[in-house]
Structure 1
């Protein structure tokens, strides 16, 4: 799940978002180091609504339409709740690959693992109008379990909210002490995290 990263990313303009898990962030706009992310984005942007053995749009439009017009925090909580209701399944069993980044339509059809939950939550919230710069998929190390994991961070005002398939509800990210972020990413760039 976690990537070995080469050189440090280039510095970009200063940000006003709160720190994720008290880490120092080094931003970059160069997404070429993340081919699985770019591949998923290409399939998501390029794909029309689909109904196949590996992909479905069933329920997506209705879910998004039901949440339109609701306040932002309600949207965040409802998206988290729906996506967390999906079954966790490892990529090798689901896709026959060690690390496959599914689109939300693939996740709706076949369930998925941690980054698939995070990606699907991000794209649902984006469809509801939350700006992509207010969200990041975070690849991290779960220090309690000693494994790689991925979550979604959504910035809501001055709060960084954690949407995690291992936690039933949305919580402030700073309340979780056993996560050590490695990098975070969205469609605009990525951030290397250091302690």
Structure 2
């Protein structure tokens, strides 16, 4: 079990090693509440304090995924539906079109279930490398591991009109399985909700006891979590 999360664990260790230098070199040494000028449940998820930093260069896999994702948006998904063809982009768009305008909790539940239908495949098997952050389209084509589920859910909600500051991909230590794991955490109505490939249901973060957050990221910044 621990081996299959080797890539994400190594990335988390590198982030923690670099974080002290990054936080000391910027104004991000204050809690996120002060840095962002407000308070929200994502700043305290799983009982943590967060420290915000706007430098995403520590996350080349995240930045690379974003670049590929926005480039993919310019390419039409040309295919003819049939027994042996997969029109992943068209199917995803049809799903999103059906969720537009629906009640927010319904959207969270639908996105979580839609993406969780895909198979879990570790990066060394899927991509031949320890750690690869796939775009949603790559995930829909080839399935993926925990951060790929979280990314696909993140981008699905962004496509449905959710703001970037309401969403964070959070890397956690799973105390039950003793591995590192990635999930999507969403702010809604003053609460933080978790979309997890290990659960078919969307759960309130304050009801989950076995996750310890390490860092989180969205399109604009990253956060170091401390308990």
The aligned residue for residue 182 of structure 1 is 214
Partner deviation per Cα, 1:60-98 (whole Å, 9 max, x = no partner): 110110001111111111000101111111011111111
Equivalent residues in 2 for 1:15-164, closer than 5 Å: 15-18=38-41, 19-47=44-72, 48-50=75-77, 56-164=88-196
In 1, the alpha carbon distance for the partners of 2:77 and 2:37 equals 40
TM-score (norm 1): 0.94
In 2, the alpha carbon distance for the partners of 1:51 and 1:105 equals 13
Partner deviation per Cα, 1:93-114 (whole Å, 9 max, x = no partner): 1111111000000111111100
> What is the Cα-based RMSD across aligned positions, in Å?
1.8
In 1, the alpha carbon distance for the partners of 2:198 and 2:48 equals 21
Compute the displacement of 1:35 (Å): 0.3
In 1, the alpha carbon distance for the partners of 2:76 and 2:206 equals 37
Runs of 5+ unmatched residues, structure 1: none
1:171 aligned onto 2:203:
yes
Runs of 5+ unmatched residues, structure 2: 1-7, 29-34, 80-84
Count residues in correspondence. Answer: 195
Compute the displacement of 1:50 (Å): 4.3
1:23–1:194 contact (8 Å) kept in structure 2: yes
Question: Which entry has the higher C-alpha Rg, 1 or 2?
Answer: 2
